[in-house]
């Protein structure tokens, strides 16, 4: 994986020293909160409901065991012994004390990590497919491109004060696991004529108050042109994006208000000019980065132990069936470690669990770890022979939940249990859903289903693109949950639709039970997923299930 150059290291250390000084000045009263706030946000430090929160960037979700051990150490020394992995492939610590934060940042710098640009109106942590470098459907590993963008965007002088925050996601596969269509810019590797690899560029996707699916602004961009093209988009946005209204400041609104064609013309003009300033730099850099992401050497290992355990141990078999994905090397598997135990907090891992994961990666999985935007942990390169041992160890650490892609594999933002912006809680809703459907033993029968929960309209929990989305609101001083149906985060992206009024916390779980009962009754067969069924029938039968009273009245 990419290791910091001396330049990166010196830059990060200098930022820590600078922030230490700023914290000292805030504490001794030389800086007011008004002066300090933008500075702390630039270093990923928020003030939340009960405490400060430090958001640490995990570029394109890639970690090694050393870094994971250090996150565990930080959680133990300066927090309450756990961390929260987020939908932006970051980790958040929920309980740091102000005076300790510079030490936390120093500890991060020791393992080439930081919290820079995890907040503020700049280009945020670049995210990528969590199966990068391992998936069998991959055109190319998206991480060299993501790393190129990380280097280019970090401290980019022109783009530190954009109209609003800016999020880029990169996918290297036709199957989109990086939600590229819901980002300000989505980049997808594609093959052009003559099998040359390039990028499809999407622009103007985003969730939040005005959810929009990104539009293709370039169907094929040669790889050499990536940075000048990015600069062109950012420049046009920086100059023309709205600064008068925070809710209209994202690039999606610019795309919407200006029109794709007009914007495209502006970007192309800018691109022609910028391109002259980038004579091949891009390509040379990308080549050197490719070497950092060279795949590990996979050896042909004996996998009879794996086959044997599969036949003998039903728990192991179930876990394999849900938590493994095909690796491009048939001797290996991609393992997803679920951070969604029944009634647990989605995305949370204790320091001990982080250490278990780090040790497993180091001993059995080529020292690679990924964080997925779905708030799980991935071991991307696992020789099948080691799977039984890995499963045993995960079981002992409470990490062997076999539920990937099922109803309890819920995305949930921190909501009003932590977040100062929240309008309602999301975690307890996720906990109740996973508990209830576990009691009902319906999870496997229901099959593939993505529930995504946000605690406010900002949509960090991606509720718009959940097959079932849940949005927590404050209705006259009571928590109220609005449902959306039919959302999709993949290459067939769609924004979910609201079937009707929201539900109180008590009404919500029974409503979901009715909804899923209806699905089980009307689906064509056990193979028709909830989303397929919704697409085939539209929302009417689901509406009737959710609102039986109004259906009866209408009849």
Partner 1 sequence: MARRFTPKIITTNDLLEGDVIYLTADGSWTRRFSDAKLFLEQAEAEAALARIETRQDIHVGAYLADAETGIDGRPQPVHFREQFRATGPSNYFHGKQAETGDVQVQ
Distance, CA of 238 to CA of 158 (rounded, Å): 9
Tell the smallest beta-carbon distance from residue 90 to ligand SF4 (Å).
12
For 3, other C-beta atoms within 10 Å of its C-beta total 9
Tell the smallest beta-carbon distance from residue 164 to partner 1 (Å).
22
Give the alpha-carbon dihedral of 168, 171, 177, 179, to 10 degrees.
30
Cβ-contact 130, 61 below 8 angstroms: yes
Give rounded-to-5 percent helix, strand, coil for the chain: 45, 20, 35
Tell the smallest beta-carbon distance from residue 458 to partner 1 (Å).
16
Residue 311, C-beta contacts closer than 8 angstroms, at least 6 positions apart? 317
* Binding status of residue 415 toward ligand SF4 by CB under 6 A: yes
461 binds, among partner 1, ligand SF4, none (CB under 5 to 8 A by kind): ligand SF4
Residue numbers 401-430 binding partner 1 by CB under 8 A: 416-418, 422, 425, 427-428
Smaller CB separation from ligand SF4, 58 or 460: 460
For 259, other C-beta atoms within 10 Å of its C-beta total 11
Residue 479, C-beta contacts closer than 8 angstroms, at least 6 positions apart? 416, 424, 425, 472, 473, 504, 505
Smaller CB separation from partner 1, 26 or 235: 26
Quote the Cα angle for 254-257-263, to 5°: 60
Count of chain residues binding ligand SF4 (CB under 6 A): 13
117 binds, among partner 1, ligand SF4, none (CB under 5 to 8 A by kind): none
Pairing relationship of beta strands 185-191 and 168-171 according to DSSP bridges? parallel
Distance, CA of 214 to CA of 203 (rounded, Å): 5
458 binds, among partner 1, ligand SF4, none (CB under 5 to 8 A by kind): ligand SF4
Give the alpha-carbon dihedral of 29, 35, 37, 39, to 10 degrees.
-100
Smaller CB separation from ligand SF4, 84 or 274: 84
Smaller CB separation from ligand SF4, 153 or 454: 454
Cβ-contact 337, 377 below 8 angstroms: yes
Distance, CA of 157 to CA of 160 (rounded, Å): 6
Structure tokens given for 210: 């005005």
Distance, CA of 135 to CA of 139 (rounded, Å): 9
The dihedral through the CA atoms of 536, 538, 539, 545 has a sign that is negative
* Binding status of residue 50 toward partner 1 by CB under 8 A: yes
Smaller CB separation from ligand SF4, 410 or 419: 419
- What does the DSSP assignment read for 86-144? -TTS-EEES---GGGHHHHHHHHHTTT---TTSSSSSB-PPEE-TTTTTBTT-SS-SHH
Smaller CB separation from partner 1, 232 or 422: 422
The secondary structure of 365-392, three-state, reads CCCCEEECCCCCEEEEEEEHHHHHHHHH
Structure tokens given for 297: 């050497």
* Binding status of residue 48 toward ligand SF4 by CB under 6 A: no
Distance, CA of 207 to CA of 184 (rounded, Å): 10
* Binding status of residue 346 toward ligand SF4 by CB under 6 A: no
33 binds, among partner 1, ligand SF4, none (CB under 5 to 8 A by kind): partner 1
Cβ-contact 397, 371 below 8 angstroms: no
Binding mask 517-546 for partner 1 (x = CB under 8 A): ------------------------------
* Binding status of residue 48 toward partner 1 by CB under 8 A: yes
Residue numbers 89-118 binding partner 1 by CB under 8 A: 95-99
460 binds, among ligand SF4, partner 1, none (CB under 5 to 8 A by kind): ligand SF4
Structure tokens given for 109: 């710098």
Which residue reads 């080549």 in tokens?
Answer: 287
* Binding status of residue 342 toward partner 1 by CB under 8 A: no
520 binds, among ligand SF4, partner 1, none (CB under 5 to 8 A by kind): none
* Binding status of residue 258 toward ligand SF4 by CB under 6 A: no
* Binding status of residue 42 toward partner 1 by CB under 8 A: no
Candidates 29-37, 150-158, 191-199, 291-299: pick the segment binding partner 1 (CB under 8 A): 29-37
Tell the smallest beta-carbon distance from residue 486 to ligand SF4 (Å).
20
Tell the smallest beta-carbon distance from residue 412 to partner 1 (Å).
10
- What does the DSSP assignment read for 195-244? G-EEEEEEES-B-TTS-B--EEEEEEEEGGGHHHHHHHHHHHHHHHS--S
Smaller CB separation from partner 1, 32 or 245: 32
Smaller CB separation from ligand SF4, 86 or 434: 86
Tell the smallest beta-carbon distance from residue 458 to ligand SF4 (Å).
4
Largest CA distance in the chain: 72
Smaller CB separation from partner 1, 204 or 461: 461
Tell the smallest beta-carbon distance from residue 87 to ligand SF4 (Å).
9
Smaller CB separation from ligand SF4, 319 or 418: 418
Instruction: Compute CA distances 509 → 311, 424, 428, 552, whole Å.
Output: 37, 16, 11, 21
463 binds, among ligand SF4, partner 1, none (CB under 5 to 8 A by kind): none
Count of chain residues binding partner 1 (CB under 8 A): 30
Binding mask 431-470 for ligand SF4 (x = CB under 6 A): -----------------------xxx-xxxx---------
Binding site residues, partner 1, CB under 8 A:
26-27, 29, 32-33, 47-52, 80, 95-99, 345, 416-418, 422, 425, 427-428, 431, 474, 477-479
Name the site residues for ligand SF4 (rule: CB under 6 A).
413-415, 419, 421-422, 454-456, 458-461
């Amino acid at each position: 994986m990419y290791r910091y150059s001396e330049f990166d290291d010196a830059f990060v250390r200098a930022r820590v020293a600078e922030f230490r000084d700023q914290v000292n000045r805030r504490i001794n009263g030389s800086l007011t909160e008004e002066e300090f706030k933008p500075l702390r946000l630039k270093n990923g430090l928020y003030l939340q409901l009960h405490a400060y929160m430090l958001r640490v960037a995990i570029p394109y979700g890639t970690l090694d065991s050393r870094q994971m051990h250090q996150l565990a150490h930080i959680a133990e020394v300066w927090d309450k012994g756990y961390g929260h992995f987020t939908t932006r492939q970051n980790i958040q610590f929920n309980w740091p004390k102000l005076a300790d934060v510079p030490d936390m940042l120093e500890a991060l710098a020791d393992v080439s990590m930081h919290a820079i640009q995890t907040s503020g109106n700049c280009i945020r942590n670049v995210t990528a497919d969590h199966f990068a470098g391992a998936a069998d459907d991959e055109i190319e590993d998206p991480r060299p491109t993501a790393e190129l963008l990380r280097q280019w965007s970090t401290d980019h002088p022109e783009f530190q004060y954009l109209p609003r925050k800016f999020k880029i996601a990169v996918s290297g596969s036709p199957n989109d696991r990086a939600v590229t269509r819901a980002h300000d810019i989505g980049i997808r590797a594609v093959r052009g004529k003559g099998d040359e690899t390039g990028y499809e560029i999407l622009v103007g996707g985003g969730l939040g108050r005005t959810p929009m699916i990104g539009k293709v602004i370039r169907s094929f961009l040669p790889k050499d042109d990536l940075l000048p093209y990015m600069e062109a988009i950012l420049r046009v946005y920086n100059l023309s994006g709205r600064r008068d209204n925070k809710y209209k400041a994202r690039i999606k609104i610019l795309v919407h208000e200006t029109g794709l064609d007009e914007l495209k013309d502006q970007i192309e003009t800018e691109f022609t000019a910028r391109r002259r300033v980038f004579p091949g730099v891009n390509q040379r850099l990308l080549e050197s980065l490719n070497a950092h992401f060279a795949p590990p050497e996979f050896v042909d290992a004996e996998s009879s132990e794996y086959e044997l355990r599969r036949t003998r141990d039903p728990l192991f078999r179930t876990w394999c069936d849900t938590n493994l994905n095909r690796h491009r090397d048939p001797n290996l598997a991609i393992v997803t470690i679920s951070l969604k135990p029944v009634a647990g907090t989605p995305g949370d891992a204790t320091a001990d669990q982080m250490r278990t994961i780090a040790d497993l990666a180091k001993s059995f999985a080529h020292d690679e770890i990924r964080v997925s935007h779905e708030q799980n942990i991935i071991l991307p390169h696992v020789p099948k022979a080691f799977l039984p041992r890995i499963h045993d160890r995960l079981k002992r650490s409470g990490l062997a939940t076999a539920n990937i892609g099922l109803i309890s594999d819920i995305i949930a933002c921190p909501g009003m249990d932590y977040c100062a912006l929240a309008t309602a809680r999301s975690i307890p809703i996720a906990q109740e859903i996973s508990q209830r459907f576990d009691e009902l033993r319906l999870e496997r029968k229901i099959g593939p289903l993505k529930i995504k929960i946000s605690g406010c309209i900002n949509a960090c929990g991606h509720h718009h693109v959940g097959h079932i989305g849940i949005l927590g609101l404050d209705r006259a001083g009571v928590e109220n949950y609005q449902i959306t149906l039919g959302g999709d985060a993949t290459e067939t992206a769609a924004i979910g639709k609201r079937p009707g009024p929201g539900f109180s916390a008590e009404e919500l779980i029974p409503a979901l039970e009715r909804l899923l009962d209806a699905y089980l009754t009307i689906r064509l067969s056990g193979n028709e997923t909830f989303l397929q069924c919704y697409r085939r029938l539209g929302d009417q039968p689901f509406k009737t299930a959710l609102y039986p009273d109004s259906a009866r009245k209408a009849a």
